[in-house]
Chains A and B, each alone.
Chain A
Amino acid sequence: MWKSQGINLSPGTVIKGKWHYRSYTIVKKLGSGAMGTVYLATENGQSVAIKFGHNSSSITTEVNVLRTLQKVQDHKLGPSLLDVDDWVLKDGSQVSFYAMEYLKGKELNRFVQEHGFEWVGILAVQLLEDLEHLHQFGWVFGDLKTDNLLVTFPPARMRWLDVGGTTQVGRAIKEYTEFYDRGYWGMGSRKADPQYDLFAFAMVILQIEYPGRFERGTHPERALFMKLKQANNIAPYQEILGKALRSEYNSAAEMKDALTSLLLASPTQSKRNTRAGRKQSHSVQPSRKKPTATVPYSGASTSAHKWEIVGIVMTVCLFYMMYVVMQWI
């Protein structure tokens, strides 16, 4: 029953654990995915997030991952795990759940829209740092996507919401979302390696430009790089993202260094881009790489140039005619 319908709990429902006897009062539904449904709840006035699994094994697997991540000291990678238990229903069946820290923040896209595109690079560096940490520990995030990321502010900090796809390096990626998946775009395997995360990460940045995502068509690779080329708001990062999509970085650290030096090298250039981006969010902006974008400026200068040449030619002709006329006389 649970399995096919998902879990539907009304606000005020009290959930009591079978093993640890802690009780939670449901406040509202936060979201649901392939593996379970997440609710906001309170325990003694404290807000917590509770995830109910469609089956017990997926909950157990996720709890294992959260426990592993907690071993990575002084680096808060995922939400902290508070409790794992079963809830016994009236009919005797039971649902596995776990309670975790409730993270309050904004979705990445909304944050960037409200605070400006200059944050993209900064948040990206943060995320890459976390990824580097995770990779060194022998794990890969796997299902890296916008829905699984949250920005808490202030201070701005990128946090990971759902760590269900986290996989040990060298194994098959546990969970993925097609749009962010390297295999789906024909750009590599589904084996967990650091490059898999960097690909998904590049897609996360790319979808800031295309929140509606895009289709892969019959030539996935071509479609992908076409979209990358056309991305105006994130134009400064094009080269770095392209390398990530081609799995050309050896590690998250290498990509982070490239990004950091870009951010430090040309602050004015990227700033001008981002300011303009915020004011006129979707209009065409000046950018040195995009031919269509450069048309208004270069167009204006070439037309002035043209008139100059016409003037010179006219003057020369006039003098020549005067010379001819004088010769004739």
Chain B
Amino acid sequence: MNKGTLKQILLITDGCSNQGEDPAAVATLAYQQGVTVNVIGILEDQQSEQPEGLEEVEEIAMSGGGVSQIVYAKSLSQTVQMVTKQAMTQTLQGVVNQELQQILGAKQEIEDLPPEKRGEIMEVVEDLGETCDLEVLVLVDTSASMHNKLPTVRDSLFDLSLSLNARMGKNRFSIYTFPGKRKEMDKIMDWTPKLDSISSVFPKLTSGGITPTGPALREAMQQFTKKRSLRNLIGREDTDVEESGY
């Protein structure tokens, strides 16, 4: 843990939220807590233009300090890993920028340096991106319209773990779907380093028409803090054993 852990929420959705608080507000809060929120909006295959509901996608990601992308289901795999990696670079660059400002004085950012110096800094950012630990909570919208896209989402998440596990740093993933049966969201997979078993646990059924993106995001954000406090209570090893039991 000496290198620090990057925390990300990856929201995969195909439409606008219609219940509960404003997701952009929750994303802002999450960002303040050190959790980056990335959003991927999925288009229908026939859709040529960006539909209204997906405007929210960029808004949430911008509020959450993350990256957003709107794609067709077909190119989801590459997008998922690209968005995650871009967000990592962005966060790390932010950290490096802060350090720079402390050294060089206010208003100095990477872009203000001549290209030669920038290269050296990017090398540091890349090294960090390769070696840092990463926790990604994937939040999948399973409202009715997502039904035929879920197999693609499953494949792309497996692909994501393939990409990230090629890094030197450690990864932990967990997957939640919303709306949940009784709660805001349902746990599909607890924190795990690999997503090999994803096909057996991924839901085949979709739930109703409501999309409580805001409340689900809030709950997702709490998974990070909850885990941390639990760890503080019992100690890290114990929780690891418990998790690997799942």
- Which residue, of A60, A85, A184, has the highest number of chain B Cβ atoms within 10 A? A60
Q: CB distance A64 to B122 under 8 Å?
A: yes
Stretch of A111-119, A151-159, A171-179, A251-259 on the interface side: A171-179
Compute how far the CA of A170 lies from the CA of B130 in the bound complex, rounded to whole angstroms.
10
Q: Is A80 an interface residue (CB 8 A)?
A: no
Q: CB distance B115 to A172 under 8 Å?
A: no
Q: Is A191 an interface residue (CB 8 A)?
A: yes
What residues of chain A lie closer than 8 Å to B164, measured between beta carbons?
172
What residues of chain A lie closer than 8 Å to B168, measured between beta carbons?
170-172
Q: Is B163 an interface residue (CB 8 A)?
A: yes
Q: Taking the nearest CB of chain A, how far is it from the CB of B36, in angstroms?
A: 16
Q: When the two chains form the complex, which single residue of A64, A94, A96, A191 contacts B166, counting CB atoms closer than 8 Å?
A: A191
Q: CB distance B166 to A173 under 8 Å?
A: yes
Q: CB distance A19 to B163 under 8 Å?
A: no
Q: Is B118 an interface residue (CB 8 A)?
A: yes
Compute how far the CA of A169 lies from the CA of B167 in the bound complex, rounded to whole angstroms.
11
Known contacts A94-B111, A171-B130; A64 and B123 CB within 8 A of each other: yes
Q: Is A234 an interface residue (CB 8 A)?
A: no
Q: CB distance A19 to B93 under 8 Å?
A: no
What residues of chain B lie closer than 8 Å to A209, measured between beta carbons?
none
Chain B interface mostly: helix
Q: CB distance A64 to B162 under 8 Å?
A: no
Q: When the two chains form the complex, which single residue of B82, B89, B166 contacts A190, counting CB atoms closer than 8 Å?
A: B166
Known contacts A34-B82, A171-B168; A57 and B159 CB within 8 A of each other: no
What residues of chain A lie closer than 8 Å to B110, measured between beta carbons?
56-57
Compute how far the CA of A142 lies from the CA of B118 in the bound complex, rounded to whole angstroms.
23
Known contacts A84-B115, A96-B115; A57 and B122 CB within 8 A of each other: yes
Q: Is A197 an interface residue (CB 8 A)?
A: no
Q: Taking the nearest CB of chain B, how far is it from the CB of A117, in angstroms?
A: 32
Q: Is A260 an interface residue (CB 8 A)?
A: no
**Inter-chain contact total with CB atoms closer than 8 Å:** 59
Q: Is B126 an interface residue (CB 8 A)?
A: yes
Q: CB distance A57 to B89 under 8 Å?
A: yes
Contact with B along A18-60 (1 / 0, CB 8 A): 0100000000000000100000000000000000000011001
Q: CB distance A190 to B115 under 8 Å?
A: no
What residues of chain A lie closer than 8 Å to B116, measured between beta carbons?
84
> Residues of A within 8 Å of B, CB-based: how many?
25
Compute how far the CA of A64 lies from the CA of B166 in the bound complex, rounded to whole angstroms.
21
Q: CB distance A19 to B115 under 8 Å?
A: yes
Q: Is B18 an interface residue (CB 8 A)?
A: no
B165's closest neighbor in chain A, by CB? A189
Q: CB distance B162 to A178 under 8 Å?
A: no
Known contacts A172-B130, A189-B165; A60 and B114 CB within 8 A of each other: no
What residues of chain A lie closer than 8 Å to B166, measured between beta carbons?
171-173, 183, 189-192
Q: CB distance A190 to B162 under 8 Å?
A: yes
Q: Is B119 an interface residue (CB 8 A)?
A: yes
Q: Is B60 an interface residue (CB 8 A)?
A: no
Q: When the two chains form the complex, which single residue of A60, A85, A190 contacts B122, counting CB atoms closer than 8 Å?
A: A60
Contact with A along B97-119 (1 / 0, CB 8 A): 00000000000001100111011
Q: Is B139 an interface residue (CB 8 A)?
A: no
Contact with A along B66-108 (1 / 0, CB 8 A): 0000000000011000100000010001000000000000000
> Residues of B within 8 Å of A, CB-based: how many?
26
Compute how far the CA of A172 lies from the CA of B168 in the bound complex, rounded to whole angstroms.
8
What residues of chain A lie closer than 8 Å to B115, measured between beta carbons?
19, 60, 63, 84-86, 96
Q: Taking the nearest CB of chain A, how far is it from the CB of B55, in angstroms?
A: 13
Q: CB distance B122 to A61 under 8 Å?
A: yes
Q: Taking the nearest CB of chain B, how far is it from the CB of A1, in angstroms?
A: 13
Q: Taking the nearest CB of chain A, how far is it from the CB of B141, in angstroms?
A: 23
Q: Taking the nearest CB of chain B, how far is it from the CB of A30, in angstroms?
A: 22
Contact with A along B155-196 (1 / 0, CB 8 A): 000010011111110000000000000000000000000000
Compute how far the CA of A64 lies from the CA of B118 in the bound complex, rounded to whole angstroms.
10
Which chain A residues numbered 50 to 97 have a C-beta less than 8 Å away from chain B?
Answer: 56-57, 60-61, 63-64, 67, 84-86, 94, 96
Q: When the two chains form the complex, which single residue of A84, A85, A178, A191 contacts B78, counting CB atoms closer than 8 Å?
A: A178
Q: Is B10 an interface residue (CB 8 A)?
A: no
Q: When the two chains form the complex, which single residue of B82, B119, B162, B165 contacts A60, counting CB atoms closer than 8 Å?
A: B119
Q: Taking the nearest CB of chain B, how far is it from the CB of A188, in angstroms?
A: 10
Q: Is B125 an interface residue (CB 8 A)?
A: yes
Q: CB distance A178 to B77 under 8 Å?
A: yes
A19's closest neighbor in chain B, by CB? B114
Compute how far the CA of A60 lies from the CA of B167 in the bound complex, rounded to whole angstroms.
21
Compute how far the CA of A61 lies from the CA of B85 in the bound complex, rounded to whole angstroms.
14
| 26 CB-based A-B contacts, threshold 8 Å | A34-B82, A56-B110, A56-B111, A57-B89, A57-B122, A57-B125, A60-B118, A60-B119, A60-B121, A60-B122, A61-B122, A63-B119, A64-B122, A85-B115, A171-B130, A172-B163, A172-B164, A172-B167, A172-B168, A173-B166, A183-B163, A183-B166, A184-B159, A189-B162, A189-B165, A190-B162
A residues apposed to B, CB below 8 Å: 19, 34, 56-57, 60-61, 63-64, 67, 84-86, 94, 96, 170-173, 178, 183-184, 189-192
B residues apposed to A, CB below 8 Å: 77-78, 82, 89, 93, 110-111, 114-116, 118-119, 121-123, 125-126, 130, 159, 162-168
